[in-house]
Structure 1
Amino acid sequence: MVDEFEELRRRMFGLAYRMLGSAAEAEDVVQDAYLRWHTADRRNVEVPGAWLAKVVTNLCLNRLTAARATRESYVGPWLPEPVESAALDPLETAERRDSVSVAFLVLLERLTPPERAVFVLREAFSYGYREIAEVLDLSETNCRQLLLRARKRVGETRRFDVPGEQRHRIVERFLDAARGGDLAELERVLAVDVVAWSDGGGRVGAALRPVVGRDKVTRFLVGLAAKFGAGGEFTHTEINGQEGLVVRYEDTVIAVFVIEVAEGRVAGVQAVLNPDKIARFAAPGCQK
């Protein structure tokens, strides 16, 4: 019984994380789901994965309304809590990798809770309409309508399908240029329409609006590099299916960067500075 649940744990965490954008809350949901699983009448569970998906999705729906209210009063841009890709369900396809990117999770904030549930189950987990209807206790027609509305709200998303080795080389160039204050090289590695977000949550200093465009982002990044570069230790790791940098100063994690690469250039930079959101990167077992 426990073994069955453990086999599905990462998948259920991935579902909850996509629904909530918070690793801490996703872990709470998975734990609640386990308690329900542990006390369930096994005769009523035909397919464990389907049963757990229904429980996890509905637990997330119960949390989303309160979460949205909290995010509306958030100081500055809200970014999801970053997680190392290894903690998520296998990201074996480009679609699944895209579905946990920070930029994608930010877009999902536009959706109502039911739209988000349908969208995640369909787009990230390839559920059929009948399966989605069973999870949400809705008609298939209603699920199709919710998905159509969700797709319109989310719009076209940029695909980050650059091969891993190439992404890593680009991020190395990006980091060297930023830390060295090499404006010319930094401009060469940034896309013209690059966007930089920083999430301090009112806990630490951060830009209160997204920084848009190569020139402005270049100056912004050089400023950040000057702030974090002196004495800072940068560690590469894959975060949310993208290249990531964990910044430590005297063994304290002070920032986590997620770098989005598209068409050979850095297309997006998300800097998570809020200490509450990056505490997991200081936990035992995280890459150092």
Structure 2
Amino acid sequence: MNRIVSLLVALFLPIMLPIHAIAANTVLSCDAFASHPTPIGTLVNNVWNQQAAGKARWEQCLLQRDGPNGPEYGWRWRWPATPRVVFAQPQITHGNTPWTSHPTPQSGFPIPLTGLDHLTISYAVTTTGDADFNLATTFWLTDLDQVPPQADINSIRAEFMVWSYASDNFFSTPAGRKRATVEINGIEWEVWVERRWHDTSGTNDNRWIYIAFRSTKNYLDITYNAAELVHYALQRGFLDSEWSIADIELGNEVMRGTGETWVHKFRVSTPALNTDNI
């Protein structure tokens, strides 16, 4: 009898362990645009183009789990195979996005471009699944030097993106036209620009300049000085030195499929914020 019990335990243990690991994840929220503060930033369940899924079933949730060095945060998603569009951008953020109101804004923002010499972005993530997605930091730039209490999308002047990763079946290029390939921070970047970009969901009709620095190699673990990328864009006339950075968002632009991302590290460092991990 003991041999039979041992055999049954041996057979079922490999099945039970993954189930236990999944159960250890805490779902913080699956609500559209839910936000959750964490020690390394605010998680946001951004589903800005959810209507493109039509009647197809989809899910996107914010997650927490116990990591080797304390709590870790992330998100998971499941989106339909068609249409071939970006449905959402689950993310972890710092600052005050111009797309929503901020009754209690985060201090240290907006960050003026004038005099910006040091803005280090450092992160490490892992992503699993069969999805089409990228990994990018988005900086929304406005012409305001203070945070308005209400959303002010008409203040948006630029969407400044830094792509460090794209899966094989994600869009082959960012929006716009390729303007250059440059080496900055010891990393080779393609520079893409679209001077009159817009909300491709069709919800809003305001326009802004879109600039993307796309690394020519894929990185899920990277550190770079975003101020040097900003300086390049200023020198080329793509940005205006009178503008400011309203917020900084690290996230996945997600298309079809199922995926799960865990953020092991996300640090933003600049003297304007007087901190290394806001």
TM bracket, shorter-chain basis:
under 0.3
TM-score by length of 2: 0.26
Higher RCO, 1 or 2 (CA under 8 Å, sep at least 6)? 2
User: Which protein has the bigger helix share?
Assistant: 1
User: Which protein has the bigger strand share?
Assistant: 2
